[in-house]
Structure 1
Amino acid sequence: MKPCFDQSSKYSQHRNWVQAIILRTDDYPLEELIGVLDKNEHARYQAFVNPLHKKDFALAHILKRRVLSGYLQLEESTPLHFGKTSMGKPYLHKHPIHFNLSHSRGIVALVFSNSLICGVDVEAHRKQHFSTNLLKVSMTAAEQQAIQGAKNPIAEFYDRWVTKEALIKAQGVGLRQPLDTLCTIKQHYPTMREDLLISQEQLWQLSAPDYSLAICALGPKPEFFVEYPAVLYS
C-alpha cells in the first residue's frame, strides 16, 4: 500500500494551516493495515482487552503513520520514529511537523501542521459517563450553569470538554492543567488563564449527533482543512 495522503497545492496559498483527518473505525477492517504498526504499537494494541478500544487504538496509529508518511512524501519502506516529551506530547523524530491524535469509541481524529503547534480531542457522547460529580470537577460554575440549562446537556458538556482537552494537548501540559481552571464561556474565551489565552479563531469545533470534536492551533490565525471520512487505502 502507498501512503494515503499526498502533499496538496491547497496549502501553497496559506502560511499557517492545520489539516484534520477524521474517520469512523467501523469503515475499515484491520487485516490489511495492521502491519503498518511498529513493534511497540503492536504490543500496546495486543494489550487492550476491549475490542472496540483495541481497534480504535490501532486505526489511530495506522492513520498517523500513513498520513504523515504521505504528507512528507516518504517512501513506503521509510520508517517513522516517534517519541514523547516529558509531559507526554508526541513528536516525530527528524521531521519538523506538528501533530496530535485522538480516538473515542469508533471515531479517530488526526491533526497536523508544518508551522503551528496543534491539539485535537474527540469524545463520543456517553450518557453513562455524564454525572454531577464529573461536571463539578471538570467545569467552572458558569459552564455548569450553561450545561444544565442547555437543550442537550450531554452534547453541551462534551462540546466544552473537547475544547479544553484540545487546548491542553496543544499546550502539552498534560494532567498538570485541571479542566476546571479553564473556561469556555465567551467573555473569557476559552480560558481564564492569561498564559493560556487563545482566540476563537484558533479553534475549530464540530458537534455531531453522537460525538464532539475540537482542534486548537497555537499562534497566528490558521486555515483549517478538514477531511472526513479519511481514506486509508490508495
Structure 2
Amino acid sequence: MLEIKNIDVYYGVIHALKDISLTVSQGEIVTLIGANGAGKTTTLRTISGLIKPANGRVDFNGERIKGTSAKDIVKKGLSHVPEGRRVFPEMTVFENLELGAYLRKDKKGIKDDLDRVYASFPILQKRSRQNAGTLSGGEQQMLAIGRALMSRPKLLLMDEPSMGLAPLLVKEIFSIIRQINEQGTTILLVEQNANMALSIAHRAYVIETGSIVLEGTGKELAQSEEIKKAYLGG
C-alpha cells in the first residue's frame, strides 16, 4: 500500500533523513520507534506531503505521490493525525470533525462517518457543541483521530498519540487504534511509548539519527535485548 524508498531530507545543512526505506501493507499496523529527534515526525510529514524530500520515492497504492500537494494526498486516502493534536481550539468539536470531511461531497456518507466517530468516542458527541480548546488532552487526542477518520482514509498516519496522556488514557487510545485497524484502516504509527506500540504492531522499524537501523515483527522487536535496553527499560 505504502512504499518509501531511499528518501533523503535536509533541513538546511542538517541531513535529517538518510536513505530511508520502509513499507506498509494493507491491513497492517506498522510502528516507527526511536528517540526524540531521530526523524520519526519528519518521516510522516514527508509521506503526507508537508515536507519535500531531496530525493527518493514515495508510492501510495502503486502511484507516485512525491511532489503531490498535501490536500491531494488526503484525497487519495491518506490522513495524518499530527503530533500535538493540532485541533482548532476556537471551533466546536462538531466543527472540527466537519473540517475533517472538507474534501467530501457525500452528505449521507459524512453523516454515517460522524455517527461512527461518535460511536467510537462517545465523549465527543457529549461535547459536540463545546469549543475544542476546552477539552482535556485525552479528549483532544480523540478529536484529532476522529477528525482524520472523517476523510475516510485508507491509511492513517499517527504521530505520538499517547504524548502527555495519563497511563489509563494511553491504554484507551491504543485500544481505539487497534479497533480502527480491525475495522479496515491501515495504520503507520510513530510513538515514543515503545512498549505499547510494539504490543499492537504487526511490524516495526527502529530509526536512529535519521536512519532505519532495525526492522521486524512487533513481537520480535519487543523481545530483542538491544531494543529492551534502548527503549523498553530492560
TM-score if structure 1 supplies the norm length? 0.33
> TM-score normalised to the size of structure 2?
0.33
